[in-house]
Chains A and B, each alone.
Chain A
Amino acid sequence: DTAVSQTPKYLVTQMGNDKSIKCEQNLGHDTMYWYKQDSKKFLKIMFSYNNKELIINETVPNRFSPKSPDKAHLNLHINSLELGDSAVYFCASSPQAGGITEAFFGQGTRLTVV
C-alpha cells in the first residue's frame, strides 16, 4: 500500500510532445507538491497545492500545468517538451500546508526528452 505513488516511473519522449505525470496519495494529506530534481540532484519546488488550491508556483514556465481533481491527486501536464525538461520529477505530500511536518515523496518519474 504505497503512500504516494506516481506514474509512469520512466518516460521517454520527443521534443515538442505533450505528456502527463500522475500522482496519488492515500495518506489523507491536505497538501501536495511537485519537485524537479536535475542532474546535480538539486530539489527545486515547482508547485504546491493545498486542498486543491494552488498556493505556490516557483516561476515555472507556463508549459507546466498542475491539475488537482481532488486533494488526493495532483497531476502534472507538460506541453511542448524541451530538452531542458529532462529530469526526475517527484510528487510529495504533507499533512498540512507548509513545511513544519515531514514530506512524503513518490518514487519519482524520470523524464527524458530526446
Chain B
Amino acid sequence: GENVEQHPSTLSVQEGDSAVIKCTYSDSASNYFPWYKQELGKRPQLIIDIRSNVGEKKDQRIAVTLNKTAKHFSLHITETQPEDSAVYFCAASRGSYIPTFGRGTSLIVHP
C-alpha cells in the first residue's frame, strides 16, 4: 500500500518568512496529492491540490510542487501570517484507493 512521509513534524517561522513542508510517497501510481489545513479545534480543509500531470500549482501565497520521478511533493507558503498557524496534512491517492495521509506538520507563525 501507499506510504506517505511528511517532514518536518513542527515548523516555527517568523511572520513574513516562507515555510516549506515536504512529503514523499511510495506508490508511483499515485496521481492525486491534496493538502489540508487544520486549525486548532477545527476540521481539516483542503487548501490546494495537484494532479500528476502538473508539476506546480499556485494559489496566491501558497504553491505546491510535484516531482514524480523522485516521488515527492512540497507545500510552499510565502509571506506567512499568524493565521497560517495550523496543522498541515499532505496526502496521496490513486484511482479508487483511499487517500493516505502524512502525519501532519504543526506550523507556528510568530508575530
A residues contacting B by CB (< 8 A) are 33, 40-43, 45, 48, 55-56, 90, 97-103, 105-108
Contact A42 B94 (CB under 8 A): no
B residues contacting A by CB (< 8 A) are 31-32, 34, 38, 42-46, 49, 51, 87, 89, 91-99, 101, 103-104, 106
Residue in contact with B44 in the complex, picked from A43, A45, A56, CB distance below 8 Å: A43
**Chain B residues near A40 (CB, 8 Å)?**
103
Q: Is the interface of A mostly helix, strand, loop or mixed?
A: loop
Q: Report the minimal beta-carbon distance from B75 to chain A, rounded to whole angstroms.
A: 16
Q: Provided the pairs A41-B103, A41-B104 are in contact, do residues A99 and B46 lie with their beta carbons within 8 angstroms?
A: no
Residue in contact with A43 in the complex, picked from B32, B95, B97, B101, CB distance below 8 Å: B101
Bound complex: CA A51 to CA B92 (Å): 23
Bound complex: CA A41 to CA B94 (Å): 24
Bound complex: CA A107 to CA B96 (Å): 25
- Closest partner residue, chain A, to B1 (CB atom): A58
Bound complex: CA A23 to CA B96 (Å): 22
**Chain A residues near B46 (CB, 8 Å)?**
102-103
**Chain B residues near A41 (CB, 8 Å)?**
38, 87, 103-104, 106
Contact A103 B99 (CB under 8 A): yes
**Chain A residues near B32 (CB, 8 Å)?**
99-101
